[in-house]
Amino acid sequence: MTDINLTAILYEKDDLRLEDQPIPEPGPGQVQLKMEQVGICGSDVHYWTHGRIGDFIVKAPMVLGHEASAVVSKLGPDVTTLKVGDRVAIEPGVPCRTCHFCKSGRYNLCPDMKFCATPPYHGNLARYYVHAADFCFKLPDHVSFEEGALLEPLSVGVHATNRAGVGLGNTVLVCGAGPIGLVNILTAKAKGASFVCVTDIDETRLNKAKEIGADFVVRVANSDPSKVAEEIETVMGTKPDITIECSGAAKSIQTAIYATRSGGVVVLVGLGQDIVEVPVVNAGVREVDIRGIFRYVNCYPTALAMVASGKVNVKPLITHRFKLEESVKAFEAAKRGEGIKIMIECSRS
């Protein structure tokens, strides 16, 4: 039977459809991929429910999905690094490779980045997809396709902890126990953090944080960020050297600054309001560095090594599984906030 390319396409806000599309052919330097696993990210859900994220607006039908693994099914011209049958994880952003940012090693800042499921570029929640061969990473036989798909969010944790300078013996605070907060716990611990404390408003997520290795958890009930910071210090016994803010909530960002020790670092990972009021004088006089991150850069090899070596176990993050044909159901579950990470199997049974 001839295979078909069942594809999850977002037409506009609240309009996600499954349709048969032509199987794409790889161009020079590209590979055709038979998709295996695709995780649902919060950005996918946001595009579905709002039709936009900031300046990125869905103006034409767009395929969703960017946390993915696959099997190479066809090689385009000039591809020598992969072969048909290779199992791969897909780094979803392909930069121009020629601008100042690309040449200086910060390709995540490339102004011409083509990133999966970010308008106007299609994602990979489909039976087949085409991608640049040099942004596909071979998976060892013992690393599952689900783990391969989770290298995408894990790479965010790698980049955040790189920017923060997490190393042996550091004390770390992670604000927000959603999927990105959880991967930051995993990476911080793998890099040698002595203690990791996690905050959230949800008890279930804090329980998951403890399950995967958080040393302390603080359920945020007080609306005063300075008071929450005092509670964190009491629980940890010290102010953290480094705080990684993953919620994007204004009060949580304020808490992150108050909580961090003088001379420490706050890394902003979560995205919320465009403009947030922060205690900048408090940060300034205590020399607390505030740094941002955008996605990740040169992090997939490290993320893969962490998983392949057993230093990081991402499997507990997966709480729900669906087939490609059940994609709408999967997105509805994600919209309801069910579980942590929802995976969609794209291959045929």
Predicted confidence at residue 349, as pLDDT, reads: 57
Q: Which residues pair with 68 in a beta bridge?
A: 38, 90
Sign for the pseudo-dihedral over CA of 338, 339, 341, 346: negative
Structure pTM?
A: 0.96
List C-alpha distances in Å: 179 to 118, 211, 250, 322, 349: 19, 13, 19, 18, 28
N- to C-terminal Cα separation, the chain: 14
* Cis? peptide before 120, omega within 30° of 0: yes
3-state SS assignment for residue 73? strand
Q: Which residue positions in the chain have pLDDT lower than 50?
A: 1
Could you tell me whether strands 5-12 and 289-292 are parallel, antiparallel, or unpaired per DSSP bridges?
unpaired
